[in-house]
Amino acid sequence: MASASLLKSSPIIEKSEWVKGAALRHPSASVAARSHPATSLAVRAASSYADELVKTAKTIASPGRGILAMDESNATCGKRLASIGLENTEANRQAYRTLLVTAPGLGNYVSGAILFEETLYQSTTDGRKMVDVLLTQNIVPGIKVDKGLVPLAGSNDESWCQGLDGLASRSAAYYQQGARFAKWRTVVSIPNGPSALAVKEAAWGLARYAAISQDNGLVPIVEPEILLDGDHGIERTFEVAQKVWGEVFFYLAENNVMFEGILLKPSMVTPGAECKEKATPEQVAEYTLKLLHRRIPPAVPGIMFLSGGQSEVEATLNLNAMNQGPNPWHVSFSYARALQNTCLKTWGGRPEKVKEAQEALLVRAKANSLAQLGKYTGEGESEESKQGMFVKGYTY
C-alpha cells in the first residue's frame, strides 16, 4: 500500500498536464527533489536497460500486432477448465497453454504474451520451454507480477493491488528466465465511488511497480482498469477515467519512470455493463481517443487495450473504430477472454480438437490484427464470438 502521506483522504486534483500537477501529493519527495535536484534523474539516466526497454516496447507495439494475455492464475485457469469439464491440474493447464503458444503463425498477429509464473518456468507437452517456443514465433514473453487484489481498509468497499514486497528480486529472476515485460493490474470501481483514496493507491502502486520493473529490465505494462460494473453512462466512465489516468501519469513522472519504455493497458471508455444506453463502436472510439489525447503523452509507444468482459466481436469492432485515423501511439489489444473464449470451447480438452481450436485462436488474432490496422469489417463472425463475457466483480 502507499505510504501514510499518500493515504490521506483528499479530493482528486484535476491536472492540466500529465507530468505536472497543481500540487505535489507527498511532501517528502518534494523536499528531496528540491534538495537534490539531479539525484533521481541521474539514477534513471544511468539505467543499463534504457535502450533495451525502448526496443522491447517498440517491438511489442509493432504494426498489426498485439498481446495475448494468458496470465490467468491457477485458480482462474481452473474456472476456465471447469467450464469445459476439465479438472484443474497442472497437466491440463500445461496442455491448454501448449495449445496457445504453438498455434502456427501466431506471431504474425501477436507480438507479446503475458504469462503466469507457472507458465514462465513450464515446458510444453513435448518438452520445449514455453519461453523458447514463443521466441521462435517472434513473440516477446512477459510475466504477471502483481499478487492480486485485496480489500482497501478505510475505503468504500474498494480494493488495492498487492505485490511490491520482493518485486525487485522476483523481476530480476523473471528477466533471467527470459521475460522482457511485466504486467500489474489494479482496478477502480465506479459504483463504489471511486474514492480519492482508492484512486491514489492504484496510481501510486502502478508507479512504484513500473519503476522497479524498469530497474530490472522489464517493460512495465501499466494497467489501471475501470471496471465495467454499474449502470452509469459513458460520460461518467470518461470523467472517472480522466481522473484516474491523470493520477497515474502524475505518479509515474514522480517516480522517474521512462515513458518511452512502458506500455499502457487501459479499459476502453464504455458505458457500465448494466447501462440501458449502449454505445456504438464510433462512440467508444470518440470518447476513448479524446481521453488518450488529453492524458497520455505521445512518448508512450503503445496503448494495449484490455477487453474487460466485452464479447470477442465487440472488442474487435471498438479497436477497429479507434484506428480509422492516425494516432501518435500504437493503438492495439491485450486480450485474454476476447482471444481465447471460442478457442477454449472448441478445444474442450479433446486432443483431436487441438488443431481446430488453434485455428479459432488464429481467427480472433487475425481479426484484431486487422482492427489494429483499421481494416476489420466484422463479416463472417460466428454467433459464439458475439456473446458478451461480462462477469460482475470479476477477479483473476
* Whole-number pLDDT of residue 26: 39
Residue pair 69/115 in contact (Cβ under 8 Å)? The answer is no
Splitting the chain (396 residues) into consecutive groups of 10 residues, what average pLDDT does each group show? 41 36 36 42 61 97 98 91 95 97 98 98 97 98 96 94 97 98 96 93 98 97 93 96 97 97 97 92 98 97 92 94 97 95 95 97 97 89 52 50
Q: Which candidate in 265, 312, 314, 381 is catalytic?
A: 265
Residue pair 260/57 in contact (Cβ under 8 Å)? The answer is yes
Q: Phi-psi bin for 349: left (phi > 0), alpha (psi -120 to 50), beta?
A: left
**Three cell numbers at 340?**
481465447
**Structural domains for the chain:** 27-374 (3.20.20.70)
* Whole-number pLDDT of residue 151: 95
* Whole-number pLDDT of residue 391: 44
Is 55 known to be catalytic?
Answer: no
For residue 2, with 0-12 CB atoms within 10 Å meaning exposed, 13-18 middle and 19 or more buried, which class applies? buried
DSSP assignment letter at 91 = H
Round to whole Å and give the CA distance between 22 and 28: 17
Q: Which candidate in 223, 225, 247, 314 is catalytic?
A: 223
* Whole-number pLDDT of residue 382: 56
* Whole-number pLDDT of residue 309: 79
Is 72 known to be catalytic?
Answer: no
Helix (H, G, I), strand (E, B) or coil at 273: coil
The residues near 136 (Cβ < 8 Å, ≥ 6 apart) are none
